Amino acid sequence: MPDSSPSPSLPAPPIGLLTGAALFLDFDGTLAPIADTPEGVVVDKDLLALLRRLRDDLDGRLAIVSGRAITTLRDLGFGDFLLAGTHGLEFAEPGSAVEAPEKLPAVDEAAAAFSRFAHDKPGILVERKSISVGLHFRRAPQWGSAARELATDLADQLDLAVQPGKMLYELRPGGADKGSAVHTLMQRPPMAGGTPVFIGDDVTDEEGFAAARDLGGAGILVGPPRATLAAFSLEQVAAVRHYLERGVAAD
């Protein structure tokens, strides 16, 4: 993770960065704007068509790396893409079964505790995933500190990993992150042989930036300047799409 010192604005990524890339793309906040609820995000057909063209230009070297479960990513329309879900705990190739650890009983205990916490707090949302559970407070930010304390206490009690995100805390098995997902996929076809480029917006993407850098590539931060391990930046989701469109046009 980066240190806490502020970072200056980073340069925009050159289009040439996509040449020969093994491209890793976060979803929420990168390919689509963050919505008030996870269900509020819609993937449009033009985006999927753009990603398919880009994947074909890269000889298949494009993967979606998300905190979302793979079943959710497939429901959103990413079924024919290489996927890493739940922060690197799940993997799937198009049309193949999901590689994932079994759901831990502790995750169900955490989900029950999150539900009790959310019961009398309008705006708090519990998101149950295949092998993890998230507590969202975007619509009730006044409960952010209490949500953090609860998630941290439960992680200690239940031997789970706590994953902070944008206005949420997630509890899940440990042992993986988006950086480990990059390292894993870079050892497999079709990603092997490319130069890793990771595009993401959240603190959960920092491990992805670090892995890309360590493997000779680079990270691209989406959003305002902050402490980061990325080498380049794009200001918002629309700029990401424009950059990818330029990459296809330049091929």
Residues 105, 106, 110, 112, CA torsion sign: positive
For residue 64, with 0-12 CB atoms within 10 Å meaning exposed, 13-18 middle and 19 or more buried, which class applies? buried
Which secondary structure element, helix H or strand E, spans residue 239, and what is its range? helix 237-250
Least Cα distance to 61 among 20, 15, 13, 17 occurs for 20
The answer to whether 26 is a known catalytic residue is: yes
Place of tokens 């794009």: 234
Find out whether 220 and 21 touch, Cβ atoms under 8 Å. no
Contacting residues for 206 by C-beta, under 8 A, at least 6 apart: 1, 2, 228, 229
Choose the catalytic residue: 26, 28, 201, 205. Answer: 26
- Residues 216, 229: Cα–Cα separation, whole Å: 13
Active centre residues (catalytic): 26
